[in-house]
Structure 1
Amino acid sequence: MRNTADLDLTTDAGILSYLVTTLPADFPRAVEVTRLSGGHANFVWRVKFAGTMEDGKNTAIVKHAEPFLADDRDVLLGTIRMKYEYEIYTLFANRSPLLPYLPEDGPIHVPKIFHYDPATPVLLVQDIGVHLDLKTFFSTHKPSDDEAVAMGRALGTFLVDFHSKAADTESKAKLMEPFENEQARMIIQAAVHDRVGTILAGVNSLSADTLQAATESAKAFGAELMESRETLIMGDFWPGNIIVESDATGRYLGKLWIVDWEVCRYGLRAMDVGQFSAEAYLLSHFRNPVARSMLTAFHRAYVTGFLKGKPEGLRRTFMRQVSVQFGSHIVAWAEFAGWTKDQQKLEEILKVAATYIENATEQDNWESGELAELADFLHSTDN
């Protein structure tokens, strides 16, 4: 095996040379790489091989991590992040009983691992094809209401199963240490909850009381996220990390691929639920109202799987946590992600978010606002 220290793995030539000289002898020869857009943290390419991989295709996706962001070298980030993605993909590939079983003919999938080199680090994974992520799919296509419901149901069912399996005693004993991922905890707290007060301070129409209450609530929840080891969470469960398999006409083919698991860790399940809820709400509000049907189906599936027959105290705690994460995520990303360039609309959505953070313990707020369906489902699973 060649010493790769002299290769610049951030370049096309460097990564191709690495693949040619370093992959195991039973792999087909890499002949071409094409840099892919959208990789913020890592350098990502589609690699073409002279022969077929084990999935029958002659292409795969290669990811390389440097100790900084691929799209901003001034931002430092430990390369250990790639280890967590490798670990979770391996567990799924081995059909670990600690995680949900994902049948080949089912609606939810994760890519298969072909090769991992922790020293570089380089990860070679299955190429799932050229498809749109869920956010882009709803922004540029017109899925039917039935398709939106099917997607939401599949995602909610998967997520509650994933959380529930990883929360049991056996799973925690085996998975908690490998998925501690302290780096991810610190990143999320700094990028989301610690920024809420600064961002809301720029909303002129927000009262001083709401600003203070929302800031304190978000910071407290950020600290709660740092301490909690409730269950294994995906950690970045948003439509941009969910790929929609569709045909040439844009018709949904019944398969969703969940990718980019680098911030997977033990934490609060409400983090995943709140983040997806916020993104799906923004998608329905600014891009495509049909996304609301997806969100409703997601809530119904998740709540039914998690809270049916559970005590009222657990329901209220869960709703409080989801509400704060819902609002905090919107505050942190609404402007940065470019949901609207209209300053008035931006301020309106930030005020909605601030209200959810401030009043997360108020049941009346749940039942009349953007999370009304979730509140309804909480009450409909008493038995």
Structure 2
Amino acid sequence: MNDLTTPQGVLAYLSNTCFAATNVQRIVGGFSSFTYRVTLSLPLEDGSTTLVLKHYEGYVAASPGFKLDSARSEFEYNALVALWDSGLVDGDSVVQVPRPIHYDRETHSIFLADLGSDIVNLNVMFDDRLQGAYSDPDLAEIQNVASTIGSALGDFLGRVHGWSSFSEHRAPFLHPHRQEDLFKIFRDLAARSATKFGIKEEWLTNMLAEELRKSSTDDQVLVMGDFSL
């Protein structure tokens, strides 16, 4: 069994698949999964020479002590397949979502179309690029960029929420026990932060308990939680 938490292990693993590679590079910034950019020995049918591989272990890649079910990989793959099949996104969309190529259930690994190494994620854009624009007396450029991003994200997320409001679209992703487990994580993190900064009060504890109860009973819609790729 290859160790898919290292580029060397991924390279060896891929040598026995139709995605044999010449180079595997860890992508900086991955949190939940081990994420790599793969340079292929042979191009894909669409001519692509690279792809992105996301491998999931039974813990968070950035914090091994943080345990999570590796089956979350299948959830993400199925959600991306549904998103592309729905027609909500395509190659010409302003907001781009990685197109799923293949899922290896045995190793909990997702193969995705590579959006490109020159793609800037929102964190980098806001931290490095947009802040620099404030030094320019003419703010027209930053206002235009911000308006374009906001409009595109708002339109895309609104259509995702609208699509997932139909029970037939949402049903495959309803896992109440997983929702409850996930909210427990956020509840514990919120309570820990409140304690750290000396602002934990009874109303906060009660609110978090109520939100935890609602998380397993309320009707919900899908949300898009990651735009980093």
Query: Do structure 1's residue 110 and structure 2's residue 105 form an aligned pair?
Result: no
For 1:105 and 1:195, locate their aligned partners in 2 and report how far apart those are by CA, in whole Å. 38
Distance 1:126 1:183, change over 3 A: farther
Q: Give the 5 Å matches for 1:229-308.
A: 229-234=219-224, 236=225, 241-243=226-228
Out of 45, 61, 64, the position equivalent to 1:70 is 61
- For residue 182 of structure 1, report the CA deviation from its aligned partner: 4.4
> Residue 136 of structure 1 aligns with which residue?
124
Distance 1:113 1:196, change over 3 A: closer
The alignment partner of 1:102 has SS state of coil
The alignment partner of 1:216 has SS state of helix
Hey, which of these two has a bigger chunk of helix by percent?
1
For 1:203 and 1:75, locate their aligned partners in 2 and report how far apart those are by CA, in whole Å. 22
- For residue 93 of structure 1, report the CA deviation from its aligned partner: 2.9
> Residue 165 of structure 2 aligns with which residue?
167
Distance 1:183 1:22, change over 3 A: farther
Distance 1:55 1:92, change over 3 A: farther
The alignment partner of 1:123 has SS state of strand
Distance 1:201 1:129, change over 3 A: same
Normalising by the residue count of structure 1, what TM-score does the alignment of the two structures yield? 0.52
Residues 56-104 of structure 1, C-alpha deviations (whole Å, 9 max, x = no match): 321111111111222333322111100011112212333x2xxx52243
Distance 1:93 1:198, change over 3 A: closer
- For residue 202 of structure 1, report the CA deviation from its aligned partner: 3.9
The alignment partner of 1:231 has SS state of coil
2:36 is aligned with what amino acid?
A: W
For 1:190 and 1:93, locate their aligned partners in 2 and report how far apart those are by CA, in whole Å. 30
For 2:185 and 2:175, locate their aligned partners in 1 and report how far apart those are by CA, in whole Å. 16
CA contact (8 A) 1:40 1:71 kept: yes
2:79 is aligned with what amino acid?
A: I
For 1:70 and 1:182, locate their aligned partners in 2 and report how far apart those are by CA, in whole Å. 24
> Residue 16 of structure 1 aligns with which residue?
11
The alignment partner of 2:24 has SS state of strand
For 2:74 and 2:217, locate their aligned partners in 1 and report how far apart those are by CA, in whole Å. 22
- For residue 197 of structure 1, report the CA deviation from its aligned partner: 3.8
> Residue 52 of structure 2 aligns with which residue?
61
For 2:152 and 2:189, locate their aligned partners in 1 and report how far apart those are by CA, in whole Å. 32
- For residue 232 of structure 1, report the CA deviation from its aligned partner: 2.3
CA contact (8 A) 1:55 1:126 kept: no
For 1:216 and 1:184, locate their aligned partners in 2 and report how far apart those are by CA, in whole Å. 21
Query: Do structure 1's residue 186 and structure 2's residue 147 form an aligned pair?
Result: no
> Residue 158 of structure 1 aligns with which residue?
156
Bigger shift: residues 182-191 or 8-17: 182-191
Between 1 and 2, higher relative CO (CA 8 Å, sep ≥ 6) is seen in 1
CA contact (8 A) 1:194 1:222 kept: no
Structure 1: give runs of 5+ residues left out of the alignment.
1-5, 244-258, 260-383
For 1:196 and 1:15, locate their aligned partners in 2 and report how far apart those are by CA, in whole Å. 36
> Residue 205 of structure 2 aligns with which residue?
215
Residues 184-214 of structure 1, C-alpha deviations (whole Å, 9 max, x = no match): 423432232344344323444x5x8xx2223
Out of 64, 77, 80, the position equivalent to 1:86 is 77
Structure whose CA Rg is larger: 1
- For residue 52 of structure 1, report the CA deviation from its aligned partner: 1.9
2:2 is aligned with what amino acid?
A: L
The alignment partner of 2:30 has SS state of coil
CA RMSD of aligned residues (A): 2.3
For 1:232 and 1:32, locate their aligned partners in 2 and report how far apart those are by CA, in whole Å. 35
Out of 137, 146, 149, the position equivalent to 1:148 is 146
What is the aligned-residue identity percentage? 26
For 1:121 and 1:196, locate their aligned partners in 2 and report how far apart those are by CA, in whole Å. 30
For 2:3 and 2:48, locate their aligned partners in 1 and report how far apart those are by CA, in whole Å. 27
Normalising by the residue count of structure 2, what TM-score does the alignment of the two structures yield? 0.84
1:230 is aligned with what amino acid?
A: Q
Distance 1:63 1:195, change over 3 A: closer
